[in-house]
């Protein structure tokens, strides 16, 4: 059973930066699609970034939503089993609850080319709140 625990959220002014972390445990498969989603009040959960980790074709490939390209960076520290989301030049529109998600069934193509939506992910963290004020 994979467990995901997010941290690093907070309140910042527009233009500021935050780094989210997602500590993962309980991996039983060799490869996973790891992703960050966010959800603002009254809106659907949307994919922000994803990375395909483990072994095989496409390892290390990434996906970014158009709204965050050039501002957010997803990365992983395999030694620490931790996923990160570095968020720079934050905007009020980035406000929301940010969730870490994982799934072992997605291929790298589904993970980072097609960018599977939230319904395809089996494992979720509890979320961390990000609030950006203008």
How high is the pLDDT of residue 70?
Answer: 98
CA 44 to chain CA centroid, nearest Å? 15
pLDDT digits over 78-120, tens only? 889 999 999 999 999 999 999 999 999 999 999 998 888 999 9
- Residue 45 confidence (pLDDT) above 90: yes
Question: Who contacts 87 (Cβ-Cβ below 8 Å, separation ≥6)?
Answer: 17, 18, 19, 20, 68, 71, 72, 94, 130
């Amino acid at each position: 059973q994979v467990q995901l625990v997010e941290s690093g959220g907070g309140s910042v002014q527009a233009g500021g930066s935050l780094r989210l972390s997602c500590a993962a445990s309980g991996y039983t498969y060799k490869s996973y699609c790891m992703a960050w989603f966010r959800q603002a009040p009254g809106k659907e959960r949307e994919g922000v970034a994803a990375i395909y980790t483990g072994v095989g074709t496409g390892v290390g490939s990434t996906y970014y939503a158009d709204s965050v390209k050039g501002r957010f960076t997803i990365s992983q520290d395999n030694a620490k089993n931790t996923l990160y989301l570095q968020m720079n030049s934050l905007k009020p529109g980035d406000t929301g609850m940010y969730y870490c998600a994982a799934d072992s069934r997605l291929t790298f193509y589904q993970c980072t080319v097609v960018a599977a939506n939230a319904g395809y992910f089996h494992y979720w963290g509890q979320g961390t709140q990000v609030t950006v004020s203008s």
